[in-house]
Structure 1
Amino acid sequence: MLERELSVGTMSAQVANHVGARIVSGEFLPGSALPIESELCEFYGVSRTTVREAVKSLAGKRLVEVSPKIGTRVLPFSEWNLLDREVLAWRLQAQFDGKIVEDIFEMRLCFEPRASFLAARDGTAEDHALIEQHFRELVAAHEQGMPVKTISESALEFHLAIINASHNGLFVTIGSAVKSALRVSSEMLQRHATRPSEDVALHDAVRTAIVARKPKEAASAMEYLLAASRERLLPLTVDAAE
């Protein structure tokens, strides 16, 4: 049961979050119908307005389609907006397995090395200063034994600073959209890190090449960092499944 004293907007977001997670986890299969409006109202203890807003949100993410004749049906996986932050977060929560890790890193390998190339070539002095700042924060977090979330946030901000420094609008949009995926993978890596100094060294190689304005070296360093991260993270998904 959801908290009744929350605003309608917040309540609808909670309902959407719960139903969306149920869809992504496979509880509601593609082609199947969601429970009718009155059933959802009773199940969640909310008004029809709240349920309608929640369903509208899920339709906007292409998880469901609403039809006056057939009701609300779950759309095929191919229709889902997989770059939507919430959809991605639901997938990670529901099925953090090797396939999703591969998908995340294949996507990152498609644009982060190039973003590093562009950051080295086209990044401003301010861009590079921000990358330096986030790298120093990452180093300090490691040296001070900060909590995993603090370290992973520092690493996340470092990567986002590089993406922003590319000045490629589409890269920046993708980086923002997949922030939840970057955060989850970063936290997993940091939580199971056995050689933190190696992680710092990999980030340092990227930073050094970017601020030295060596585009090719920056791209190669980022590709190596991502490949190493993927190889460290994949075995963890096997452990989690077991």
Structure 2
Amino acid sequence: MPKSLHQRAVEHLGSRIVDGSIPAGEVIVAAELESELSVSRSVIREAVRVLASAGLVVSTKRVGIRVLPPADWNPFDPLVIRWRLAGDGQGAQLRSLTELRVAVEPMAAELAAEHAPAEFCGELLNLAAQMRHAGRSGDLASFLELDIRFHAMVLAASGNEMFANLANPIAETLRGRTELGLMPEHPHEEALAWHQGVADAISAHEPHRARESMELIMRRTNEEICGVWAHKPRLFPQPRA
């Protein structure tokens, strides 16, 4: 099927569910979607599969496509993150992921300094150098992609596969911050130095210094954007049995 049709159907449904235009509990009929979007049943079926994997809908035989409440959504799904960042859930989304990063990434850096294979160390040093060059030259597009790669590499170098799987949600958040104008126009020299410090400490197998440098990065990140969620209520989902 044409990819653009599939993406159009996913965006049409997913963004409206996340922003509340299609409320939880509503049942969507596939035939009506086909007519509304002028697409085939196979396009709708594939779009529903994507949304179901993110916890937004469930398809029930002889009933239709039922919209699920936010408590059922996968908060780590990059699509859910992107749609929340684009709407009223922006502040809460940024807060949740920033707090997650503050908690996890310093530990990941510490573990990476203890366990990272040599090729990971070399790549981190290379990325830190490229980030410094891109940041100082004002190439923000390149800097963003290098920053995403750097943090993904630290998570992977920890040797913890659950940490490593946070790379995509973090990447979506970094891209979202950039698109929303919530990144500095030019990376701070301190931040560039701290990224270099993380890479150096991991390569030198100095866990305490790696953790400290990453904590400085995360603290600066939190300070830069905490105003966005200052008055947003926290979410308290019920623990699952």
TM-score, length of structure 2 as denominator length: 0.85
Specify the alignment match of 1:132 in structure 2: 125
Conservation of the 8 A alpha-carbon contact between 2:136 and 2:186: no
- Judged with a 3 Å threshold, the aligned counterparts in structure 2 of structure 1 residues 188 and 157 are, in CA distance, closer, same or farther, namely farther
Task: Tell whether the 8 Å contact from 2:52 to 2:58 is kept in structure 1 after alignment.
Answer: yes
Given the superposition, is the C-alpha separation of residues 118 and 187 from structure 1 closer, same or farther in structure 2, using an over 3 Å criterion? farther
Q: Partner residue of 1:71?
A: 64
Partners of 1:197 and 1:187 lie apart in 2 by 22
Q: Does the Cα contact within 8 Å between 1:117 and 1:219 map onto a contact in 2?
A: yes
In terms of fraction of residues, the more helix-rich structure is 1
Aligned ranges 1:142-153 → 2 under 5 Å:
142-146=135-139, 148-153=140-145
Alpha-carbon deviations, 1:195-220, whole Å to 9, x = none?
Answer: 62122123223223222211122112
Aligned partner of 1:16 in structure 2 is: 10
Q: Unaligned regions of 5+ residues in structure 2, if any?
A: 231-241
**What does 1:1-242 correspond to in 2, within 5 Å?**
7-34=1-28, 36-95=29-88, 97-146=90-139, 148-185=140-177, 191-193=183-185, 196-235=188-227
Cα separation, 1, equivalents of 2:209 and 2:180: 27
Question: The residue matched to 1:94 in structure 2 has which SS?
Answer: coil
> Over residues 163-188 of structure 1, what are the superposed CA-to-partner deviations in whole Å (9 max), with x where a residue is unaligned?
11112111112223442123323666
- How far off its partner does 1:235 sit? 3.2
Q: Which amino acid aligns with 2:38?
A: G
Paired letter, 1:204: Q
1:138 shift after superposition: 0.4
RMSD over equivalenced CA pairs, Å: 2.3
2:144·2:174 contact (CA, 8 Å) conserved in 1? no
What is the distance in 2 between the residues matched to 1:83 and 1:195? 27
Q: Aligned partner of 2:105: which letter?
A: E
Q: Percent identity?
A: 29
Map Cα deviations across residues 105-159 of structure 1 (whole Å, 9 max, x no partner): 111122211110111111122111100011011011022221x222111111111
Please, what TM-score do these two structures have when normalized by structure 1? 0.85
Whole-angstrom distance in 1 between the partners of 2:163 and 2:118: 20
Any conservation in 2 of the 1:61–1:80 contact (CA below 8 Å)?
yes
By how many angstroms is 1:58 displaced? Answer: 1.2
Tell me the secondary structure at the aligned position of residue 55 of structure 2. coil
User: Is the partner of 2:74 in helix, strand or coil?
Assistant: coil
**SS of aligned partner of 2:27:** coil
Task: Determine the C-alpha separation between the residues in 1 that align with 2:188 and 2:170.
Answer: 24
